[in-house]
């Protein structure tokens, strides 16, 4: 496929997205008219100038300490998240569609979580297998019968979206435990404003720098008292997203604490200060359930707060996200979200799932084994792109290893067709080349749901790869949602 008509010369003259849908140009039958001015401005830039500005941006990211940790790399304590300076642009009508779809999905997942910890109607009606929920390692019996404010369990959600070669957005997975990456959304925007003010001028881009205020509002809404003390609970400096914890605490204007900074007394939570103990009422936690309370979950955890579960159960402190939300972002449960939307909301999904087979089901397992070379196989509990086998790009040895693991533990896997992820022009060593991207919009829910305009566009910087995760060598782009104009 060649680039649609209207493609500028100069900087992008040799750019060719091939058969993929392109985020800057669109497709032959669906041209991206809303990006015309941006394309004109990019075309006027010299490649050496573009690369110089990109290097300036990366240097500044490092100087600002905008890094993450790769646990699997013993030689890299922390890294810059690579930043590509050519933005990913979303039109106003496209965003309205995505915003509605993400809001719908959050609503259904919160109804599902309330249901499984209360009446369990969806299990009794056989819409979702009971053992898939109650046998899930993220299901928390301690939450059964416990009411939470506004019946909201997932206060912060990151929904991973991909766009196929037809230009259709699809949900790849849900992140409802401790979704990360929003700090890069805001910092990427700040970086573009400093490095490319000429590219952004008078475009009409929706802002993203109010995320911290929206998050604080939600934390205040769910608190058990008026004028609450909100804190952000972090596992500490060695967590891969520690930069983000610092960033969000600063944006909200609240203390950043670790488990050792909090104590529970008489089922109430307090923060240690130089003036003694101060009450804490609302906690944005970046800590998995297992490490949250050693009395209730993992007794070996040194990261959590002993007794915090009981304080939570008695309504003396609010937690976001709620305990037990991990059931909702399990990759096997993901397959049933369209049915949840129909069951609870009597609606069809606004954004469809990627077609998915659950290997715990015999027919799905057999199909996966028969078509292993053509499918993507994912472990249901992993994140960060680990454990994935992409059939068409796997060696014979890798396929056989995947087959062995599937047969040994089929319930731990799902399979999906290879989605031809959309591409976006990306600055490479000597040219502008297409690289695959996905999109993670972030939704905040208290009484109601607000979706950050845009989200994190992750880009697979390695040529040919479909894995965009930062832990696997991916980077990010600024995501521009336009305020109006053509679709």
Helix (H) or strand (E) holding 92: helix 92-116
- Residue 28 pLDDT level (bands cut at 50, 70, 90): confident
Smallest CA-to-CA distance from 183 within 129, 123, 127, 250 is with 250
How far is 394 from 372, CA to CA, in rounded Å? 10
Tens-digit pLDDT profile for residues 316-373 = 999 999 999 999 988 889 999 999 999 999 999 999 999 999 998 899 999 999 999 9
pLDDT of residue 14: 86
Q: What is the mean pLDDT of residues 31-52?
A: 92
- Residue 71 pLDDT level (bands cut at 50, 70, 90): very low
Tell whether pTM > 0.75: yes
How far is 251 from 213, CA to CA, in rounded Å? 7
The fold for domain 96-177+209-345 equals Rossmann fold (3.40.50)
What does the block give as tokens for 437? 């991207």
357-417 has the same fold as 96-177+209-345: no
pLDDT of residue 79: 64
Domain ranges in the chain?
Answer: 96-177+209-345, 357-417
How far is 4 from 261, CA to CA, in rounded Å? 57
* Exposure class string for 455-477: b at 16+ Cβ within 10 A, else e: bbbbbbbeeebbbbebbbbbbbb
Work out the number of other CB atoms within 10 angstroms of the CB of residue 278: 12
Query: What is the DSSP secondary structure assignment for residue 20, as one 8-state letter?
Result: S
Look up the CATH architecture of domain 357-417. 2-Layer Sandwich (3.30)
pLDDT of residue 472: 66
Q: What is the mean pLDDT of residues 165-182?
A: 94
How far is 480 from 265, CA to CA, in rounded Å? 47
- Residue 75 pLDDT level (bands cut at 50, 70, 90): low
Tens-digit pLDDT profile for residues 221-268 = 999 999 999 999 999 998 888 999 999 999 999 999 999 999 999 999
Pairing of β 156-163 and β 83-90: unpaired
With 90 as the cut, is the pLDDT of residue 8 above it?
Answer: no
Give the mean pLDDT of the chain.
Answer: 91
With 90 as the cut, is the pLDDT of residue 199 above it?
Answer: yes
- Residue 59 pLDDT level (bands cut at 50, 70, 90): confident
């Amino acid at each position: 496929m060649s680039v649609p008509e209207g493609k500028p010369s100069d900087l992008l003259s040799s750019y060719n997205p091939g058969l993929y849908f392109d985020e800057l140009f669109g497709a032959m039958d669906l041209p991206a008219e809303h990006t015309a001015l941006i394309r004109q401005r990019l075309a006027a830039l010299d490649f050496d100038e573009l690369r110089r500005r990109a290097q300036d941006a990366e240097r500044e990211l490092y100087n600002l300490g905008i890094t993450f940790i790769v646990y699997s790399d013993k030689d890299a304590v922390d890294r810059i998240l690579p930043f590509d300076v050519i933005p990913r642009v979303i039109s106003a009508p496209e965003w309205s569609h995505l915003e509605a779809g993400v809001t719908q999905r959050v609503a259904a997942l919160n109804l599902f979580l309330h249901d499984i910890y209360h009446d369990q109607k969806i299990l009794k009606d056989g819409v979702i297998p009971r053992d898939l929920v109650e046998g899930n390692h993220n299901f928390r019996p301690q939450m059964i019968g416990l009411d939470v404010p506004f019946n909201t369990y997932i206060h912060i959600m990151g929904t991973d979206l991909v766009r196929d070669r037809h230009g259709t957005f699809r949900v790849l997975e849900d992140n409802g435990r401790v979704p990360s990456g929003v700090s890069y959304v805001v910092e990427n925007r700040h970086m573009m404003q400093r490095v490319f003010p000429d590219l952004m001028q008078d475009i009409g881009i929706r802002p993203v720098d109010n995320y911290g205020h929206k998050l604080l509002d939600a934390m205040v809404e769910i608190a058990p008292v008026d004028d609450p003390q909100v804190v952000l609970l972090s596992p500490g400096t060695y967590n891969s997203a520690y930069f983000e914890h610092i960033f969000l605490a600063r944006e909200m204007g609240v203390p950043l604490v670790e488990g050792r900074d909090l104590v529970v007394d008489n089922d109430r939570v307090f923060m240690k200060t130089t003036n003694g103990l101060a009450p804490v009422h609302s906690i944005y936690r970046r800590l998995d359930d297992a490490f949250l309370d050693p009395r209730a979950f993992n007794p070996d955890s040194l990261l959590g707060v002993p007794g915090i579960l009981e304080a939570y159960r008695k309504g003396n402190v609010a937690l976001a996200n709620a305990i037990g939300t991990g059931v909702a972002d399990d990759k096997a449960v993901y397959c049933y979200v369209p049915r949840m939307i129909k069951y609870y909301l009597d609606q069809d999904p606004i954004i469809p799932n990627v077609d998915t087979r659950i290997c715990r089901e015999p027919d799905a397992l057999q199909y996966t084994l028969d078509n292993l070379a053509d499918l993507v196989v994912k472990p249901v509990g992993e994140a960060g792109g680990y454990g994935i086998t992409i059939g068409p790009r796997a060696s014979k040895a890798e396929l056989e290893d995947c087959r062995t693991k599937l047969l040994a533990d089929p319930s731990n896997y799902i399979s999906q067709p290879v989605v031809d992820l959309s591409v976006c022009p990306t600055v490479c060593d000597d040219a502008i080349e297409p690289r695959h991207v996905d999109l993670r919009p972030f939704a905040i829910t208290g009484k109601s749901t607000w979706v950050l305009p845009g989200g994190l566009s992750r880009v697979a910087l390695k040529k040919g790869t479909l894995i965009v995760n930062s832990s696997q060598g991916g980077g990010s782009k600024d995501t521009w949602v336009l305020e109006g104009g053509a679709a």
